[in-house]
């Protein structure tokens, strides 16, 4: 007769195993990652699984709790000391007795946007680079003069299969006392980045240590965002953000590069500032989660090339002008101590590779998260900031570029622009008949024609318009006929509406007239046209490289991407024509990508390989960029039909 069939969910990996096979071993054999700290001794509880019950016709399996060995003494013992949720089993002590469908709990990325209805449904599995390995070490024996450390590494090889372990020097002076304190039972923290690299012993604890954490951090030029994650369960246990203190040296990236060029200590000061902010955030997330920061063993960072270089202590001057040479483009592996991060002495750091001098590790992380390289459809991935980073491609080919959009999309260079903060108008609708606007304001969180608005506006004054608000107001002005296709405000409407006012030789639209008077000027509209034309021209260039006249789906990443309404982005011609329901704001895709790299070393390899084959296009060197740019100034633009906008 056939051996029982065991199917592991959510990965769907399956195999047949003889009755009596240990379930943890079966998982290992199939390459299904199930955590284990104690090596199957029934004390860590990390190997828990659920048995699904019922008939799974698609797979031809009937799974039942009766198809698994009865509760063992080890499980009883574990359940008596800690809580084991009903239905949960310790896979290390359960044996296969019939067909089974096993659920491996995935706390990690279940809540992330990685798996969406139109995205590929690839399952995110964990396979962290950090492994906690409990071992029992032989006591010293005068007849076998092998050192304590050597007996430890021997045990690690016997129990965990780690050959050729490298040992961090800082462990040597402590190894004897730790072994004795643990009565010859210790937990080794092993770092193993790639299949091919030698494992390293990076920390050692007496007894069972059943905790290990990692951080994923996105260093933006404006804000730094950090997630603290359990490396053993994959769950995010605390998140925090702070503004990047480098802002005091320069608002945007180029002004920070010039600061370095003009001040002898500039690079050092900015490196120190960002590292201090990161150390502060580490303290904050650790405190929030109630953990010790020395239990953080791994950290993944992403950022644009200038942030990446400054964080590593590299002078970014070369990135300030053509040919925009990166000091290093490949992934970085180093120690937290090298970067003064004040984690565990043995903690490791990983930075994703940079794609090009203008397209950084953040774009690589967003690519890893959204996965254009994993699918057949042509995906456009745009991260809008001071520079728009654009990635376009599919399984066959991926191209990338950055476009100099300038800061208009973030509300800078706009007369009434401001950061997205309480008091900023973020949404706008204009009635085409009366030209009267309705607005929604951050911190008031009601539309201006709702009764609650007036009351709440007492506390939160309207002070400006943020990036998404600017985009919406310009798009709405276009839809209401206030501006022409060329972006010119129609002064003749002044006769119809008091909102249209003269401003020197041009006209403005008064969006808000309260404590502050906020008018959208002709110059503001020009700034938005320039920014959107730059973005569109970059996209167009990449579409030409791909020899495609359409994209199948669009992902708008970053804070701005999640605020803009896809419809308005298309009305402005910011993004190419595409079915609106295939346009999705994906939030901090770079942060999610960093978390993926933290939780699974296979993702590190995947993005390193992908980045190597991404073709980099330098917009500044492409003669056609200027042409595209000029044509894209009009609304939506003069070259491409926008069919999907019809309805
Ligand atoms: Fe530790 Fe199963 S592996 S309890």
Q: Indicate yes or no: pTM above 0.95.
A: no
**Candidate from 28, 47, 84, 159 with most ligand 1 atoms within 8 A of CB, to mutate:** 47
Read off the tokens for 192.
């193993």
42 CA → ligand 1 middle, Å: 4
Based on DSSP, count helices (H) and strands (E) in the chain, helices before strands. Answer: 16, 29
35 CA → ligand 1 middle, Å: 8
Which CATH architecture group holds 5-103? Roll (3.10)
CA 36 centroid distance within chain: 27
Note the ipTM here.
0.99
CA 281 centroid distance within chain: 17
Is residue 87 a contact partner of residue 37, using CB atoms and an 8 Å limit? no
In this structure, which topology does domain 130-206 adopt according to CATH? Ubiquitin-like (UB roll) (3.10.20)
Same fold, 130-206 and 370-407+527-645: no
Read off the tokens for 162.
């780690």
Q: Is the CB of 42 under 6 A from ligand 1?
A: yes
**Candidate from 25, 41, 89 with most ligand 1 atoms within 8 A of CB, to mutate:** 41
For ligand 1, what atom is nearest to the CA of residue 40? Answer: 3
**Candidate from 40, 69, 160 with most ligand 1 atoms within 8 A of CB, to mutate:** 40
**Candidate from 25, 36, 79, 159 with most ligand 1 atoms within 8 A of CB, to mutate:** 36
Nearest to 415 by CA among 488, 513, 524: 524
The pLDDT value given to residue 645? 65
625 CA → ligand 1 middle, Å: 59
Strand, coil or helix: 320:
helix
46 CA → ligand 1 middle, Å: 5
Main-chain dihedrals φ then ψ at residue 200, nearest 5 degrees: -120, 140
In this structure, which topology does domain 245-351 adopt according to CATH? Nucleotidyltransferase; domain 5 (3.30.420)
Pick the CATH number of 370-407+527-645 from 3.90.1140, 2.60.120, 3.30.420, 3.90.1720: 3.30.420
Is residue 634 a contact partner of residue 526, using CB atoms and an 8 Å limit? no
The CA distance from 585 to 556, in Å, is 5
Main-chain dihedrals φ then ψ at residue 48, nearest 5 degrees: -65, 145
The pLDDT value given to residue 473? 94
Alpha-carbon separation of residue 302 from 385, 389, 494, 613 (angstroms): 15, 14, 49, 19
pLDDT means per 10 residues in the chain (647 residues)? 89 92 94 91 93 88 92 91 88 95 73 37 70 96 92 96 94 97 98 84 97 95 92 90 93 90 96 98 97 97 96 96 92 96 96 95 95 95 86 97 83 85 93 95 93 90 90 93 94 95 94 92 94 93 95 87 80 88 87 92 95 92 90 78 61
Q: Is the CB of 90 under 6 A from ligand 1?
A: yes
Domain boundaries, the chain: 5-103, 130-206, 245-351, 370-407+527-645, 416-519
Q: Is the CB of 406 under 6 A from ligand 1?
A: no
Backbone conformation region of residue 267, classed left if phi is above 0, alpha if psi is from -120 to 50, else beta: alpha
37 CA → ligand 1 middle, Å: 6
Q: Is the CB of 47 under 6 A from ligand 1?
A: yes
Q: Is the CB of 34 under 6 A from ligand 1?
A: no
Number of C-beta neighbours around residue 579 at 10 A: 13
104 CA → ligand 1 middle, Å: 14
Strand, coil or helix: 546:
coil
Main-chain dihedrals φ then ψ at residue 631, nearest 5 degrees: -70, -30
Q: Is the CB of 74 under 6 A from ligand 1?
A: no
72 CA → ligand 1 middle, Å: 13
Q: Is the CB of 44 under 6 A from ligand 1?
A: yes
Number of C-beta neighbours around residue 284 at 10 A: 17
Backbone conformation region of residue 383, classed left if phi is above 0, alpha if psi is from -120 to 50, else beta: beta
SS3 assignment for 499-511: CEEEECCEEEEEE
Q: Is the CB of 14 under 6 A from ligand 1?
A: no
Integer-rounded Cα radius of gyration of the chain: 28
């Amino acid at each position: 007769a056939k051996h029982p069939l065991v199917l592991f969910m959510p990965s769907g990996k399956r195999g047949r195993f003889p009755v009596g096979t240990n379930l943890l071993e079966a998982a290992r054999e199939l390459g299904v990652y199930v955590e284990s700290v104690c090596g199957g001794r029934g004390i860590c509880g990390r190997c828990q699984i659920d048995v699904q019950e019922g008939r799974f016709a698609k797979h031809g399996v009937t799974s039942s709790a009766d198809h698994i060995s009865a509760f063992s003494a080890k499980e009883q013992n574990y359940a008596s000391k800690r809580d084991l949720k009903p239905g949960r089993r310790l896979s290390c002590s359960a044996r296969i007795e019939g067909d089974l469908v096993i659920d491996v709990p995935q706390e990690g990325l279940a809540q992330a946007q990685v798996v969406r209805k139109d995205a590929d449904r690839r399952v995110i599995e964990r396979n962290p680079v950090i492994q906690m390995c409990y071992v029992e070490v032989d006591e010293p024996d005068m007849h076998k003069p092998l050192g304590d450390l050597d007996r430890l590494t021997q045990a690690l090889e016997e129990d965990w299969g780690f050959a050729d372990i490298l040992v961090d020097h800082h462990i040597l002076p402590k190894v004897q006392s730790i072994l004795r304190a643990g009565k010859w039972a210790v937990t080794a923290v092993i770092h193993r980045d790639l299949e091919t690299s030698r494992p390293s012993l990076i920390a050692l604890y007496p007894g069972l240590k059943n905790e290990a954490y990692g951080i994923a951090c996105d260093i933006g030029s404006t804000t730094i965002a950090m997630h603290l994650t359990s490396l053993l369960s994959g769950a995010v246990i605390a998140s925090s953000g702070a503004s990047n203190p480098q802002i005091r040296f320069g608002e945007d990236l180029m002004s920070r590069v010039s600061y370095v060029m003009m001040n002898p200590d500039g690079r050092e000061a900015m490196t120190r500032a960002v590292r201090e902010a990161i150390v502060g955030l580490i303290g904050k997330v650790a405190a929030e989660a109630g953990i010790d920061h020395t239990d953080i063993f791994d950290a993944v960072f992403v950022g644009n090339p200038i942030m990446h270089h400054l964080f590593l202590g590299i002078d970014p001057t070369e990135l300030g002008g053509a040919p925009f040479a990166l000091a290093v483009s490949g992934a970085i592996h180093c120690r937290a101590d090298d970067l003064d991060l004040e984690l565990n002495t043995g903690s490791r750091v990983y930075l994703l590779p940079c794609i090009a001098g203008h397209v950084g590790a953040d774009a690589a992380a967003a690519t890893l998260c959204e996965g254009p390289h994993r699918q057949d459809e042509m995906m456009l991935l745009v991260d809008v900031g001071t520079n728009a980073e654009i990635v376009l491609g599919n399984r066959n080919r991926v191209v990338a570029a950055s476009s100099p959009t300038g800061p208009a999309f973030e509300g800078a260079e706009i007369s009434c622009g401001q950061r997205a903060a309480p008091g900023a108008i973020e949404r706008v609708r204009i009635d085409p008949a009366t030209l009267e606007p309705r607005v929604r304001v951050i911190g008031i969180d009601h539309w201006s024609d709702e009764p609650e608005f007036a009351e709440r506006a007492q506390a939160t004054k309207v002070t400006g318009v943020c990036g998404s608000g600017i985009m919406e107001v310009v798009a709405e002005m276009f839809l209401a006929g206030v501006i022409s296709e060329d972006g010119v405000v129609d002064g003749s409407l002044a006769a119809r509406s008091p909102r249209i006012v003269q401003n020197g030789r041009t006209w403005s639209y008064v969006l808000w007239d309260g404590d502050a008077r906020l008018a959208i000027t002709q110059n503001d509209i020009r700034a938005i046209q320039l920014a959107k034309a730059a973005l569109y021209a970059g996209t167009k260039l990449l579409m030409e490289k791909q020899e495609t006249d359409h994209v199948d789906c669009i992902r708008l990443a970053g804070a701005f991407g999640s605020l803009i309404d896809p419809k308005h982005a298309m009305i402005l011609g910011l993004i190419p024509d595409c079915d609106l329901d295939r346009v999705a704001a994906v939030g901090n895709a770079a942060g999610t990508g960093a978390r993926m790299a933290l939780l699974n070393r296979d993702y590190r390899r995947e993005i390193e390989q992908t980045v190597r084959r991404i073709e980099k296009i330098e917009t500044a060197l492409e003669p056609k960029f200027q042409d595209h740019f000029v044509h894209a100034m009009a609304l939506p633009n003069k070259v491409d039909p926008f069919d999907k906008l019809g309805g």
